[in-house]
Amino acid sequence: MNPIVSKQWLLARQYEPDLVIVDCRFELGRPEAGSTAYDAAHIPGAVYLDLEQDLSAPVTEHGGRHPLPAPDVLAARFARAGIGNATRVVAYDDQGGMYASRLWWLLRWLGHDDVYVMEEGFAAWQAGGYPVTAERRTVVPAAFTPSLRPQLLAGVEDVRRALGDPGVLLVDSRAADRYAGLQEPLDIKAGHIPGAINRFWKQVQGDNGSWKSEGELHEQLAPVITALDEGREAIVYCGSGVSACPNVLALHRLGYTQVKLYAGSWSDWISYPENPIETGGE
Kindly report the CATH number assigned to the domain that includes residue 104. Answer: 3.40.250.10
Catalytic residue among 4, 169, 238, 249: 238
Answer yes or no: 24 catalytic.
no
Residues 198 and 261 in one domain: yes
Q: Is 102 helix (H, G, I), strand (E, B) or coil?
A: helix
- Domain end point (choices 112, 127, 142): 127
Q: What is the CA radius of gyration of the chain?
A: 18
* In a domain? residue 182: yes
Residues 65 and 172 in one domain: no
Give 74's contacts (C-beta < 8 A, 6+ positions apart): 55, 68, 106, 110, 146
Read off the pTM.
0.97
**Domain that residue 13 falls in:** 4-127
Residues 10 and 102 in one domain: yes
* In a domain? residue 143: no
Give 88's contacts (C-beta < 8 A, 6+ positions apart): 16, 18, 19, 20, 114, 115, 116
Q: Is 159 helix (H, G, I), strand (E, B) or coil?
A: helix
Per-residue pLDDT of 47-100, as tens digits, reads 999 999 999 999 999 999 999 999 999 999 999 999 999 999 999 999 999 999
Q: What is the Cα–Cα distance from 183 to 186, expressed in whole angstroms? A: 9
Q: What is the Cα–Cα distance from 113 to 106, expressed in whole angstroms? A: 10
Residues 194 and 251 in one domain: yes
**Mean pLDDT for the chain overall:** 97
Q: List the beta bridge partners of residue 154.
A: 262
Residues 121 and 11 in one domain: yes
Residues 9 and 123 in one domain: yes
User: Phi and psi at residue 254, in whole multiples of 5°?
Assistant: -85, 5
Please tell me the total count of domains within the chain: 2
* In a domain? residue 183: yes
Residues 207 and 248 in one domain: yes
Residues 28 and 106 in one domain: yes
- Domain end point (choices 96, 127, 158): 127
Residues 214 and 258 in one domain: yes
* In a domain? residue 259: yes
- Say what the pLDDT of residue 209 is: 82
* In a domain? residue 62: yes
Question: Please, is 149 exposed, middle or buried when counting C-beta atoms within 10 Å of its C-beta (0-12, 13-18, 19+)?
Answer: middle
* In a domain? residue 281: no
Residues 120 and 161 in one domain: no
pLDDT in tens, the chain (282 residues): 799 999 999 999 999 999 999 999 999 989 999 999 999 999 999 999 999 999 999 999 999 999 999 999 999 999 999 999 999 999 999 999 999 999 999 999 999 999 999 999 999 999 999 999 999 989 999 999 999 999 999 999 999 999 989 999 999 999 999 999 999 999 999 999 999 999 999 999 988 889 999 999 999 999 999 999 999 999 999 999 999 999 999 999 999 999 999 999 999 999 999 999 999 998
